[in-house]
Amino acid sequence: MGWFGRKIYDRNRLLEQAVRATRRRRRKRAISIYREILRVDPNDAHVHRKVAPLLGHTKQLEDAWESYRRAGAQLARQGFVDQAIGVYREACGYLPKDHRLWLALADLEVERKRPVDAVNALVDGARKLRSRRTQDQALALLQRARKIQPAAFEPSYELANLLVRAGARDKAIKLLRGMAPRVRGRQLRRLRRRLFFLSPTPPNLWRWLASNFSR
């Protein structure tokens, strides 16, 4: 206590209280304490990392994203890019339908010169945003993936699936046909099978069957 019974701000004391509340599954209480710290220092990355999953648990998803974003961005600025990636990967469990998260994660993977991991993250995100309401966001993720690795199979294959769901079957068929000369083995079999089900003609059936003998 300070003068006239006024509380003195004590970050360490508040952190201890928040940790105890979290251990007792008093998530709302813990969030309240962490927010008290953030009112003093809105950029406290450590606190944002602690409060973000609690916000995710309690379905305060926009606030959870903001805390994950602040924590990840500050860690990246400080040079701890792998830790920032870990923060965003944790966030995927709570915010799988937030396209901003997948874009941020992919950007960090590119920064670490891991383009394959970046593309995989974007494709994973797009698969979670397949609904009609979020298909524009899925499209943005796949377009970003194709810019990172233009020849990668999965982003273009998922884009074709997205076009089918959007009612653009002819565009999907054209895209898949354009991919065919560049792929082999299992990828070619998947592609030929998809083309046959989109356009069940004898030539497409023959190509699908013939692909089973490719390596």
- 3-state secondary structure string, 114-149? CHHHHHHHHHHHHHCCCCCCCHHHHHHHHHHHHHHC
Q: With respect to residue 33, please indicate whether it lies within any of the assigned structural domains.
A: no
In eight-state DSSP terms, residue 18 is H
- State the Cα angle at 56 between 52 and 58, rounded to 5°: 120
| Res. 137: pLDDT tops 50 | yes
Instruction: Give the distance from CA 25 to its chain's centroid.
Output: 27
Task: For residue 73, give every residue at least 6 positions away whose Cβ sits within 8 Å of its Cβ, in sequence order, or none.
Answer: 84
Q: With respect to residue 7, please indicate whether it lies within any of the assigned structural domains.
A: no
- In which residue are the tokens 């609690």 written? 54
- 215: confidence class by pLDDT, cuts 50, 70, 90: low
Q: How confident is the prediction for the chain on average, in pLDDT?
A: 93
Summarize the confidence of residues 119-148 as an average pLDDT: 95
Summarize the confidence of residues 82-94 as an average pLDDT: 95
Summarize the confidence of residues 22-26 as an average pLDDT: 94
Q: pTM (2 decimals)? A: 0.86
Q: With respect to residue 204, please indicate whether it lies within any of the assigned structural domains.
A: yes
| Res. 60: pLDDT tops 80 | yes
Using CA of residue 150, residue 120, residue 131, residue 91, what is the dihedral sign? negative
* Structure token digits, residue 132: 């009609």
Q: With respect to residue 198, please indicate whether it lies within any of the assigned structural domains.
A: yes
- 213: confidence class by pLDDT, cuts 50, 70, 90: confident
Q: With respect to residue 154, please indicate whether it lies within any of the assigned structural domains.
A: no
- Domain total in the chain: 1
Higher pLDDT, 8 or 66: 66
pLDDT at 3: 45
- 4: confidence class by pLDDT, cuts 50, 70, 90: very low
Q: With respect to residue 196, please indicate whether it lies within any of the assigned structural domains.
A: yes
In eight-state DSSP terms, residue 9 is P
Q: 79 — alpha (psi -120 to 50), left (phi > 0) or beta?
A: left
The residue segments making up the domain with residue 187 are 176-215
Q: With respect to residue 167, please indicate whether it lies within any of the assigned structural domains.
A: no
By CB atoms closer than 10 A (0-12, 13-18, 19+), residue 58 is middle
Q: Distance between CA 98 and CA 85 in Å, rounded?
A: 16
